[in-house]
Amino acid sequence: MSSRKLTVAIDGPVGSGKSTVAKLVAAELGYMHIDTGAMYRAVALLAHRRNISYSDAHALGRIAKSAKMSFLRVGAEQHIFVDGEDVEAEIRTPEMSQASSVVSALPEVRAALVEKQREMGRSGGVVMEGRDIGTVVLPWAEVKVFLTASPEERARRRTIQLLEQGVKVDYRQVLAELNARDERDSSRDLAPLKPAPDSVVVDSTHMSLGEVVDKIVELVRSKERLL
Ligand code: DC
């Protein structure tokens, strides 16, 4: 069997289960997991801390370019580090969810982060997840998955996740915010959220987490056997 490590792109909207799925798929394959949403959240956090407007494209582009970002293991989890600081907890608040969606529409920010992401994906053996990985960041990825689920199911999952993290939210508010973010992420001119033409679309509304992970791992293994 081939030992060549592939590049796997997983894209999809908020609450599709991308992050959990990507993490488990990467662990199963022995690949590195790269959560690109965390990088957009990190830029939003830096803007917030430095009192820079979320629409100041030039300042945020500079921040995105100069910040050193890496993913490191902390216990069983993988956290994002920015300039050596673990900011994982701070980037996961509802405020940073909305702010990251705003800053991610800025071309300067996208250009800087896409460059970092390509560097991280260069040598294969990665499962990279986001919105534009199969279309823009790693169009050469050997396996591309577009993971989705109904808005109601995604809002339900996201509500549970936030409650588990101790964030007080209610389902209706989560559904409204999710629809707002979907609309912004899908309608922006630059790298809108959409499946790559050569991606496999997986609708997880009625699938268990295990079924989704098995399906993607099998896609990767069958590609590995061909190469
Ligand atoms: O996946 P997430 O919710 O952590 O992503 C945060 C925001 O960043 C989301 O609103 C869309 C944006 N994003 C993006 O535009 N491109 C990516 N590759 C990843 C995330």
**Most ligand 1 atoms within 8 A of CB, residue of 19, 78, 104 to mutate:** 104
Chain-centroid distance of CA 122 in Å reads 17
Query: Distance between CA atoms of 5 and 35, rounded to whole angstroms?
Result: 18
Location of structure tokens 């289960």: 17
Ligand 1 atom closest to 38 (CA): 4
Give the pLDDT of residue 108: 97
Location of structure tokens 């190469």: 227
Is 36 in contact with 133 (CB distance < 8 Å)?
yes
Give the pLDDT of residue 69: 98
Give the pLDDT of residue 3: 65
Is 137 in contact with 10 (CB distance < 8 Å)?
no
User: What's the average model confidence in pLDDT over 170-176?
Assistant: 94
Give the tens place of pLDDT for each residue, 63-73: 999 999 999 99
Distance (Å) from CA 39 to ligand 1 centroid = 8
Residues with CB under 6 A from ligand 1: 14, 36-37, 40-41, 97, 100-101, 104, 130-132, 181, 185
Tell me the pLDDT of the chain averaged across its residues: 93
Ligand 1 atom closest to 104 (CA): 15
Give the tens place of pLDDT for each residue, 24-42: 999 999 999 999 999 999 9
**C-alpha closest to that of 117 among 194, 37, 186, 61:** 37
Q: How far, CA to CA in Å, does 202 sit from each of 27, 63, 182, 195?
A: 20, 35, 18, 10
